[in-house]
């Protein structure tokens, strides 16, 4: 029998997991990953470390090159896939080469979402998604001696970038659009303690900050600051925009895959077209299940890879906890967290403002429905997660 040819587009968490799992399920298949990333596949969730320590880049690889060779997984980096031709069952690469497939796995992930902000095309304006992005910002900090960085967006990514840039000796100002930090994950008291903790480290937090324009020298010169819509001026010589991500769905749209906000898949990671699978940040499961998380991308990649190789696996949808490990603390929020007590809900709160620690347990009719933890609560977290399941 002829060997099956499994082609994977993208070398993020989902793509690499898919390749590994495909190999475990089919020792003969041709497995090849095409990726626009020039680097060996890396821990994307740790790329901000390069901002503090440029040497960290090489420590972020998922596996050495020989790991792929040993598994006969062919990795083709620095190669953009321009087109999927479903009828011809091939893909077209940027050099016009066409590559045939029997099973195709699309794991093209996300890219940074960029607000249409006037002046964001000036020198020293950055986004952060790839290792290349991190290296570029890290180089600019060091070679240009940047002193002050304004980070637009105080979510998971913005906070981690803030911490790493701060440790590189750059003054950091976090500009958060919402009236409080992590508005969707925390309550006002928890958010207040997080903000105080961040400020105690010497990082400035400006909430209710709606950016109007990046200003700089002349019409196009380097950044000198940001003007907010309420007229306030934030001085800085560098801007990092971190306001969320967009799925890389262009290829899939063009190929005729069914799309919602992302590529639609079922729990077997099947797209609307037979023999084409999708996994990770680029897809949404069933009715829109999507979280943009590493662990979910890996889990979905494994299912897609196994099924492309002939298995019959399913991805199990489970709402994950929101966890941020940064700035020498841990922020966790999970489950149902109503704003106020009543209608059967009651709260149990303990806090230590001096240590910026906070524990809020939410019960409905005596049963735990959710919790917020700030600080060192590793053991409690596991026990509470178990209670939520019971």
Ligand X SMILES: Cc1cc2nc3c(=O)[nH]c(=O)nc-3n(C[C@H](O)[C@H](O)[C@H](O)COP(=O)(O)OP(=O)(O)OC[C@H]3O[C@@H](n4cnc5c(N)ncnc54)[C@H](O)[C@@H]3O)c2cc1C
Q: Which is nearer to ligand X, 43 or 363 (CB)?
A: 43
Distance between CA atoms of residues 279 and 276, nearest Å: 10
Instruction: For residue 321, state whether it binds ligand X (rule: CB under 6 A).
Output: no
Instruction: For residue 292, state whether it binds ligand X (rule: CB under 6 A).
Output: yes
Instruction: For residue 281, state whether it binds ligand X (rule: CB under 6 A).
Output: yes
Residue with tokens 């309420």: 230
Instruction: Show contacts with ligand X in window 249-268 (CB under 6 A).
Output: 251
CB atoms within 10 A of CB 388: 17
Q: Which is nearer to ligand X, 161 or 309 (CB)?
A: 161
Q: Where are the alpha helices (DSSP H) in the chain?
A: 13-25, 49-52, 65-70, 131-143, 156-167, 188-200, 250-255, 294-308, 378-389
Among the listed ranges 50-58, 191-199, 262-270, 290-298, the one in contact with ligand X (CB under 6 A) is 290-298
Distance between CA atoms of residues 66 and 73, nearest Å: 10
Instruction: For residue 327, state whether it binds ligand X (rule: CB under 6 A).
Output: no
Instruction: For residue 164, state whether it binds ligand X (rule: CB under 6 A).
Output: no
Instruction: For residue 280, state whether it binds ligand X (rule: CB under 6 A).
Output: yes
List of residues 6+ apart from 168 with CB closer than 8 A: 51, 52, 138, 141, 142
Instruction: For residue 271, state whether it binds ligand X (rule: CB under 6 A).
Output: no
369 and 345 in contact (C-beta within 8 Å)?
yes
Binding-site size, ligand X (CB under 6 A): 36
List of residues 6+ apart from 231 with CB closer than 8 A: none
230's tokens: 């309420």
Quick one: which of 15, 158, 190, 375 contacts ligand X (CB under 6 A)?
15
- The β-bridge relationship of strands 171-175 and 148-152 is parallel
Angle at 14 between CA 264 and CA 66, to 5 degrees: 155
Instruction: For residue 293, state whether it binds ligand X (rule: CB under 6 A).
Output: yes
Instruction: Show contacts with ligand X in window 119-158 (CB under 6 A).
Output: 128-129, 156-157
Quick one: which of 34, 120, 126, 356 contacts ligand X (CB under 6 A)?
34
Distance between CA atoms of residues 39 and 125, nearest Å: 23
Phi, psi for residue 275 in degrees, rounded to 5: 70, 5
Instruction: For residue 248, state whether it binds ligand X (rule: CB under 6 A).
Output: yes
Q: Which is nearer to ligand X, 94 or 352 (CB)?
A: 94
Angle at 191 between CA 186 and CA 195, to 5 degrees: 150
At its nearest, how many Å lie between ligand X and the CB of residue 362?
Answer: 23
Quick one: which of 6, 8, 13, 51 contacts ligand X (CB under 6 A)?
13
Among the listed ranges 6-14, 58-66, 223-231, 350-358, the one in contact with ligand X (CB under 6 A) is 6-14
Among the listed ranges 32-40, 51-59, 268-276, 378-386, the one in contact with ligand X (CB under 6 A) is 32-40
Quick one: which of 297, 307, 329, 357 contacts ligand X (CB under 6 A)?
297
Q: Which of 114, 85, 58, 82 is nearest to 242 (CA)?
A: 114
Q: Which of 308, 297, 264, 313 is nearest to 41 (CA)?
A: 297
Quick one: which of 110, 138, 271, 333 contacts ligand X (CB under 6 A)?
110
Quick one: which of 25, 108, 270, 329 contacts ligand X (CB under 6 A)?
108
At its nearest, how many Å lie between ligand X and the CB of residue 63?
Answer: 14
Quick one: which of 20, 21, 37, 49 contacts ligand X (CB under 6 A)?
37
The binding site for ligand X (CB under 6 A) comprises 9-15, 34-37, 44-45, 47-48, 80-81, 107-110, 128-129, 156-157, 160, 248, 251, 280-282, 292-295, 297
């Amino acid at each position: 029998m002829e060997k099956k040819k499994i082609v994977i587009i993208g070398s993020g968490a989902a793509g690499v997991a898919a390749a590994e799992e495909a190999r475990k399920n089919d020792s003969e298949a041709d497995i090849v990953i095409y990726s626009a990333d020039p680097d060996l596949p890396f821990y994307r969730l740790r790329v901000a470390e390069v901002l503090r320590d440029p040497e960290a880049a090489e420590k972020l690889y998922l596996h050495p090159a020989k790991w792929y060779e040993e598994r006969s997984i062919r990795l083709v980096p620095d190669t953009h896939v321009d087109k999927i031709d479903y009828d011809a069952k091939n893909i077209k690469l940027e050099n016009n080469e066409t590559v045939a497939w029997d099973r195709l796995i699309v794991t093209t992930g996300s890219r940074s979402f960029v607000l249409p902000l006037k002046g964001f095309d000036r020198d020293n304006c950055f986004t952060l998604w790839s290792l290349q992005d991190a290296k570029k910002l890290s180089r600019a900090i060091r070679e240009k001696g940047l002193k002050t960085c304004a980070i637009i967006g105080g979510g998971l990514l913005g906070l981690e970038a803030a911490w790493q840039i701060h440790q590189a000796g750059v003054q950091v100002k976090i500009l958060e659009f919402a009236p409080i930090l992590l508005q969707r994950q925390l309550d006002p008291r928890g958010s207040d303690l997080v903000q105080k903790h961040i400020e105690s480290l010497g990082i400035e937090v400006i909430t209710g900050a709606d950016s109007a324009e990046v200003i700089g020298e002349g019409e196009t010169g380097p950044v000198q600051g940001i003007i907010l819509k309420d007229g306030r001026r934030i001085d800085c010589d560098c801007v990092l925009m971190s306001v969320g991500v967009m799925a890389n769905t262009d290829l899939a749209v063009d190929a005729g895959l069914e799309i919602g906000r992302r590529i639609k898949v079922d729990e077997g990671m099947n797209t609307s077209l037979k023999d084409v699978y999708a996994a990770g940040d680029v897809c949404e499961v069933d009715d829109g299940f999507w979280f943009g998380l590493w662990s979910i991308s890996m889990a979905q990649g494994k299912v897609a890879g196994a099924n492309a190789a002939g298995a019959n696996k399913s991805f199990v949808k489970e709402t994950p906890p929101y966890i941020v490990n940064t700035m020498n603390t841990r922020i966790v929020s999970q489950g149902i967290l109503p704003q106020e007590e009543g209608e059967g809900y009651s709260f149990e709160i303990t806090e230590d403002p001096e240590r910026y620690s906070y524990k809020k347990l939410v019960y409905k009719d005596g049963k735990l429905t959710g919790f917020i933890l700030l600080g060192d609560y590793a053991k409690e977290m596991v026990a509470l997660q178990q209670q939520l399941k019971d």
